[in-house]
């Protein structure tokens, strides 16, 4: 089935995208028998952050009536504020690394969990401990253990489906012990697992963002959604942010408080001015001398390409010295809104907390565009079997 979406459909991340995602999922299930009963599923999001994963599940739930978002959990107070203001759902700040399962169940029951419904548990345990951006840091990171903890919490709730998103390094040999801990716990409770590294550009996210997606289930064969776009159709930086008004460093749009840029030092702006427009690299001899002596930092102070997807948006994407995060032709780093649009959030989404924290929330989030396709896929597969 050839499903065409307009750029505005991706920008809105609304009903048109949900319908396309459902049609794509149903096309992938063609020929399989359908369940006669359409069961509703409650959705619970652990380590939810600002709600990138929840966004798609709530959107598909509104479109189908089959997914019912109940609550989210995260220890970050600013991410929780963003989640609460955008989703208007129950949010818990309990420390999941130490919380008792009984307390988690109590919170869910007090906030509308319907035991007659099925259950989908989604979670994105903090991943920076084994991210590629920390390869040079030999110190151990306690956040790694939260992957196994998520498996313990999820299986204790006995959901039909468990979904985890994380950095691709989770599935690497170097960090495989964390994934194996998750796998051992989940399989020990009778779940089958499918895992895969997915480039979210194949689903319309305007950046090259590779992420590990893990789906575990008991009553269905777990699977990952098939790509929606061909590489030639990848959305670009221009598709995502080309319509926004020009800003100088330190400015805020009078029309959108999220279209706000960083107050760079004059020395930073001088470096940026010397970088060629539209995808340019920092010229040799420009900026800190250490960048010329050490290999591996060629993207630092680099500009995004208008006609290509962005590089992976990170928690530090507002800082030009942290990667290729300079605007294609304006002499500044990205605004909050630009980072959010490149991550796949709609322009209606508002972020709360300090300036830097808003970028952290965006960089750590799952793309809402991808989560819409994932939710549509899971919802469709679940309706293909009697559970």
Alpha carbon distance 361, 365 (integer Å): 6
Of residues 50, 124, 127, 317, which has the active-site annotation? 127
DSSP 207: B
Which residues are 207's β-sheet partners? Answer: 310
Rg (CA), the chain: 21
Secondary structure element (H or E) that encloses residue 318, with its range: none
Alpha carbon distance 170, 180 (integer Å): 9
**Concatenated DSSP letters for 273-314?**
HTSPTTTPPPPTTSS-THHHHSSS-TTTTPBPPTTSPBPPP-
In angstroms, what CA-CA distances link 226 with 11, 28, 29, 249, 377? 21, 8, 11, 40, 9
CB 166 within 8 A of CB 212: yes
Q: For residue 50, indicate whether it is catalytic.
A: no
By annotation, the residues acting in catalysis are 127
């Amino acid at each position: 089935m050839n499903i065409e979406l307009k750029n505005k459909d991706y920008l809105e991340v609304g009903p048109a995208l949900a319908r396309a995602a459902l049609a794509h999922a149903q096309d992938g299930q063609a020929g399989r028998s359908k369940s006669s009963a359409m069961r509703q599923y409650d959705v619970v999001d652990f380590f939810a952050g600002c709600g990138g994963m929840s966004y798609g599940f709530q959107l598909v739930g509104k479109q189908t009536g089959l997914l019912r978002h109940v609550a989210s959990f995260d220890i970050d107070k600013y991410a929780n504020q963003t989640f609460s203001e955008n989703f208007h759902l129950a949010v818990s700040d309990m420390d999941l690394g130490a919380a008792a399962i009984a307390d988690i169940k109590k919170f869910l029951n007090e906030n509308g969990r319907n035991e007659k419904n099925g259950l989908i548990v989604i979670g994105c345990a903090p991943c920076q401990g084994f991210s590629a951006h920390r390869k040079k840091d030999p110190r151990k990171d306690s956040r790694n253990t939260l992957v196994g903890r998520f498996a313990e919490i999820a299986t204790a709730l006995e959901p039909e489906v468990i979904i985890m998103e994380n950095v691709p390094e989770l599935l690497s040999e170097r960090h495989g012990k964390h994934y194996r801990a998750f796998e051992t716990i989940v399989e020990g409770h009778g779940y089958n697992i499918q895992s895969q590294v997915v480039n979210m550009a194949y689903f319309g996210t305007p950046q090259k963002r590779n992420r590990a997606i893990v789906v575990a289930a008991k009553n269905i064969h777990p699977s990952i959604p098939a790509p929606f776009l061909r590489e030639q159709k990848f959305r670009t930086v221009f598709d995502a942010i080309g319509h926004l008004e020009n800003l100088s460093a330190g400015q805020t749009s009078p029309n959108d408080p999220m279209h706000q840029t960083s107050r760079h030092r004059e020395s930073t702006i001088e470096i940026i001015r010397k970088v060629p427009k539209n995808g340019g690299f920092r010229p040799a001899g420009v900026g800190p001398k250490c960048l010329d002596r050490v290999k591996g930092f060629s993207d630092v102070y680099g500009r995004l390409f208008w006609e290509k997807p962005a590089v992976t948006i990170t928690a530090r994407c507002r800082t030009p010295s942290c990667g290729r995060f300079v605007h294609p032709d304006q002499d500044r780093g990205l605004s909050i809104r630009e980072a959010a649009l490149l991550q796949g959030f709609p322009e209606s989404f508002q972020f709360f907390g300090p300036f830097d924290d808003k970028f952290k929330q965006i960089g750590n989030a799952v793309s809402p565009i991808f989560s819409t396709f994932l939710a549509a896929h899971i919802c469709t597969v679940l309706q293909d079997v009697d559970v």
